[in-house]
Chain A
Amino acid sequence: MAKKRDGLEVGPVTGPDLWEERGISRRDFLKFCTAMTAALALPASFVPRIAAALESDNRPSVIWLEFQGCTGDSEAFLRAANPTVAEIVLDVLSVDYHETIMAAAGHQAEDARLQTMKARNGKYIAVVEGGIPLKDGGVYCCVGGKAAVDIVREVCGGALATIAVGTCASYGGIPAAAPNPTGAVGVKEAVPNATVINLPGCPLNTDNLVATIVYFITFGKLPVVDGKGRPLFAYGKRIHDNCERRPHFDAGQYVEQWGDEAHRKGYCLYKMGCKGPETFHNCSIQRYNERTSWPVGAGHGCAGCSEPYFWDSMTPFYRRLPNVPGFGIETTADKIGLGVAAATAAAFAAHGVVSAFRHDDESAGKKEE
């Protein structure tokens, strides 16, 4: 029997054979459940619960809208984890509208959206990619002759929840960078009454999108978020806190020039402009493309792309952060927002290595010698 959880119909659970009918082995399915449990930072005892929730045959409807985006988030979605997971993603969801992949075009495409909104009113998930221009009546982005702002209000207004994927949909992103020529904003600002989860990143890490949806299906509610609307399971800690190069930061071993010996040895990229110390995201753990790599892992600093307005606040990208806020792993984005300056001053005073190179930038890089 179908059960209702927060308005979302879940079930009936049809048993383990279901996934095998879909061409997915039981083993691969459980691997996926385990990966999702890990992505959600839950203990392994949650694997059966996630498996049970996913075995329901009720695929939530998804309407995926794109506005002032670059389709990078859709492309990220197409790379979702390993092949098995992507198959599961296609089968877990019913993607009823997504301009980049849908077969229909023109009014048939629009009809698919309208039919879904009508048939599953209050039950579908809206996913939004790209910023929404508000200036001049929204003329800077129209689909089917309609302004983006009108479409997003209509679709998100009838959705159970909205997931803003990428930094553009979350906070306006690149079109909102100074001087914001089109008056671009994120979804929450365009539709203040909607329930919105932000998954910023440029593009988003698709593992976090899948995990958010799995969280939702499993627990029947949305994950807990920080003050910027980001789920804590993915944005609760800084890049810096889990960075594989953190020991080099602490040891005062820094890359001084692209391609120098320190760079080849994988030392800390802070002096090359890395924004990891001020960026809340799980890249350093989750990585990208089936955990193959991530920017700092491949030798380039973090750009801070999951932070609001990073195009203005984190640039120039190759100039190092003037103040590294705090050193404790307990810090959250909200706390940092409250008192960056005080925390920074205290931390620097307490940390001999960093204060040393603040006095003499050149000497710090040579400390390993």
Chain B
Amino acid sequence: MAKIVVDPITRIEGHLRIQAEVNGGSIKDAWSSSTMFRGIEKILRGRDPRDAWFFTQRFCGVCTTVHSIASIRAVENALGIKVPLNAELIRNLIIGVQAVQDHVIHFYHLHALDWVDITSGLKADPAKTAALAASLSDWPLNSPTYFKGVQERLAAFVAKGRLGPFGNAYWGHPAYRLPPEANLMATAHYLEALDWQREIIKIHAILGSKNPHPQTFLVGGMAIPVDPNSQNALNVDKIAEIGELLKKAKTFVEKVYIPDLLAVASFYKEWAGIGGGVGNYLCCGEYPADNSGKPERLWLPQGIILNRDLSRVYPLDQRKVTESVAHSWYEGGAKGVHPWDEQTEAKYTGPKPPYDLLDTDQKYSWVKSPRYDGIPLETGPLATVLVAYAAGHPGAKGAVDMVLQKLGVGPEALFSTLGRTAARGIETLLVARELPNWLNQLVANIGGGDLTIHNNERWDPATWPREAAGYGWHNAPRGSLGHWIRIREQQIENYQAVVPSTWNASPRDERGQRGPYEAALLGTPIADPAKPLEILRTIHSFDPCLACAVHVVDPAGGELVRVQVL
């Protein structure tokens, strides 16, 4: 068996490290570790609960709106605050644009280079590239001249010998399968998507003041005023601009992202049988259709799927969530604890840096192990799409069947690395098509004379009960997250967040159950242990949102392949 260490795993948010064992060309076991800790939950104690979203938003600058929403919902839940419909719709627009923009960035800028060899695009025939692109979609930029220009630009860049962010990668690896023409097409769209994402995220700036880290959230509503007759509020001008940007977002998803996804996937169908993972899925649902706060009024349904069985969706119960620190660098017993009662006291017991390997028999990660009713769950676009599909959501059903049919695979193909990547595209498509409806509802509501954006009844902490506890769910681009808060004497007494990457990147629990990354890596083929491109494919398919790294380890003391310079 060979030991491999990959550290850092790049093109993710944060710091992650995975150790695994390779034998006979595939992974026999793997361990996932996060190597960064800040202690924000501890920093939150004693502060004003109305400020919590501001702090938790800094959990992540990629999931830039996500923790604000979960945090605000938790405080509103604790204090029994009902949010005005306008605020709920503005939040939907912010959440939806986050999902669409973030998924496109993930596909092109964080994941595509695992499948697309950009250097091979230099050998492409631009006319054939244009023909290939035209066969997939009527996107206006699909011309031989355009692709020739991109190719020349790429060639000039390469000729200068300084590749910048494209230097030293796995170019030429035998696991790359795309013909040069497809590689050139994808490279061109990599550059286009870079421009596109900057453009459509202006919706966050209009509704939220800026991106990343929008700053108009409030406990009880939003701080962006709406008034068609004001220069200083969300008025007709700004609504029209949002409408145009939403149109642009939808067009790119339909004409570029989805066709590229299907084209690339068709060359990598064997990945529909790799990287499945734990086979249990969690989606908390998202996009309130009204301001009733009822889970059944969510546009994307919530629920749990167990053992890959799509015939049944179990209801979600937040009381069944626990976190174990059996293999995590925190104080506490091995047994899982519910977030309301949890502590986050760091206690590092790993090796002193610089180190070669973490001892995975002991504690080995800053990530805890969330479990639902004692079992590990995967969350993310695949869970979102599976729950919606199994629950009979009409849009999801249609989009999933279209993708499966185009790829010529059955529903079982969804439980895989490829399925995860495809589900991300499906979620993006659904949301991009739904976004204009929320804008229309907002317009109708404003037109009807409702200018309310905030419920002020419980703004003053003097109106709060002495003690309160609440939780807030949010289904984000990377999956479902929950924030749990306890408030006492107008201050935060305890705060815990269980986030998508905690579910997915979790180390083993007290029963030795693997987390989703660890389980998904089992059986992954490795063509060249010195260049474990395949590990990146499966790990990136989850869109990790922490700084991560991967090791492949031989417990019998075999050869150590350094995919990390220590």
Contact = CB atoms under 8 A, between A and B. Distances in A.
A220 interface: no
Contact of A75 (B51, B64, B565): B64
Contacts of B14: 71
B40 A136 contact: no
A147 interface: yes
Nearest to A173: B58
Interface in B323-348: 346, 348
Contacts of B213: 72, 202-203
Contact of A112 (B168, B195, B226): B168
A303 B35 CA distance: 30
B327 to A, nearest CB: 16
B43 A293 contact: no
A318 B50 contact: yes
Contacts of B7: 106, 143-145
B230 A136 contact: no
A31 B367 CA distance: 46
Interface in A159-218: 173-175, 177-182, 184, 202-203
Given A86-B195, A95-B164, A174-B38, A106 B216 contact: no
Interface stretch (A6-14, A46-54, A97-105, A333-341): A97-105
A146 B352 CA distance: 9
Interface in A279-299: 287-290, 292-299
B109 A101 contact: yes
Interface string B1-18: 000011111111111000
Interface stretch (A229-237, A255-263, A323-331, A361-369): A255-263
Interface in B439-498: 451-454, 456, 459
A294 B43 contact: no
A175 B216 contact: no
Contacts of A23: 149, 153
Given A69-B61, A99-B10, A78 B354 contact: no
Nearest to A73: B61
Interface in B288-318: none
A182 B346 contact: yes
A129 to B, nearest CB: 9
B113 interface: yes
A145 B62 contact: no
Q: Please classify the interface of chain B as helix (H, G, I), strand (E, B), loop, or mixed, using the class held by over half of its residues.
A: loop
The size bracket of the interface on A is 35 or more
B62 A71 contact: yes
Contact of B36 (A141, A177, A265, A319): A141
Which residue, of B54, B64, B204, B532, has the highest number of chain A Cβ atoms within 10 A? B54
B197 A78 contact: yes
A90 interface: yes
Interface string A96-120: 1011111111111111101100000
B435 interface: no
Which residue, of B35, B166, B456, has the highest number of chain A Cβ atoms within 10 A? B35
B167 A315 contact: no
A290 B204 CA distance: 12
A111 B223 contact: no
Given A83-B195, A179-B43, A300 B164 contact: no
A15 interface: no
Given A68-B36, A145-B353, A316-B50, A259 B221 contact: yes
Interface in B5-59: 5-15, 35-40, 42-43, 47-48, 50-51, 54-55, 58-59
B225 A299 contact: yes
Given A258-B453, A266-B230, A105 B221 contact: no
A310 to B, nearest CB: 10
Given A203-B213, A317-B54, A318-B51, A71 B208 contact: no
Interface string B191-216: 00011011101101111111111011
Given A79-B198, A293-B205, A298-B207, A145 B170 contact: no
B319 interface: no
A295 B149 contact: no
Contacts of B226: 264
B195 A289 contact: no
A103 B295 CA distance: 41
Contacts of B59: 70
B165 interface: yes
A241 interface: no
Contacts of B38: 68, 131, 140, 174-175, 181-182, 184
A231 to B, nearest CB: 20
Interface in A15-43: 21-23
A352 interface: no
A18 B26 CA distance: 48
The size bracket of the interface on B is 35 or more
A366 B233 CA distance: 20
A82 B199 CA distance: 8
Contacts of B223: 258, 298-300
A359 to B, nearest CB: 21
B235 to A, nearest CB: 10
A297 to B, nearest CB: 7
Given A258-B223, A264-B225, A311-B55, A289 B9 contact: no
Nearest to B117: A103
Given A94-B164, A106-B7, A109-B8, A142 B60 contact: no
Contacts of B13: 70-71, 100
A106 B8 contact: yes
B326 to A, nearest CB: 19
B233 A21 contact: no
Interface string A233-272: 0000000000000000000000001110001111000000
Interface in B146-197: 149, 153, 156, 162, 164-170, 194-195, 197
Contact of B565 (A114, A266, A293, A298): A114
Contacts of B149: 23
B348 A147 contact: no
Contacts of A79: 197-198, 201, 211-212
B12 to A, nearest CB: 7
Interface of A: 21-23, 59, 61, 66-76, 78-80, 82-83, 86, 90, 93-96, 98-112, 114-115, 131, 133, 136-147, 150, 173-175, 177-182, 184, 202-203, 257-259, 263-266, 287-290, 292-300, 303, 311, 315-319
Given A114-B565, A182-B37, A202-B213, 10 more contacts: A75-B61, A95-B165, A99-B8, A101-B11, A109-B168, A137-B353, A145-B566, A298-B206, A299-B233, A318-B48
Interface of B: 5-15, 35-40, 42-43, 47-48, 50-51, 54-55, 58-62, 64, 105, 109-110, 113, 118, 149, 153, 156, 162, 164-170, 194-195, 197-199, 201-202, 204-213, 215-216, 218, 220-221, 223-227, 230-233, 346, 348, 350, 352-356, 366, 451-454, 456, 459, 531-532, 536, 547, 549-550, 562-566
21 contacts: A69-B61, A70-B61, A83-B194, A112-B167, A139-B350, A202-B58, A259-B452, A264-B225, A264-B233, A265-B230, A266-B232, A289-B201, A289-B202, A290-B202, A292-B205, A295-B216, A298-B207, A298-B210, A315-B47, A318-B51, A319-B48
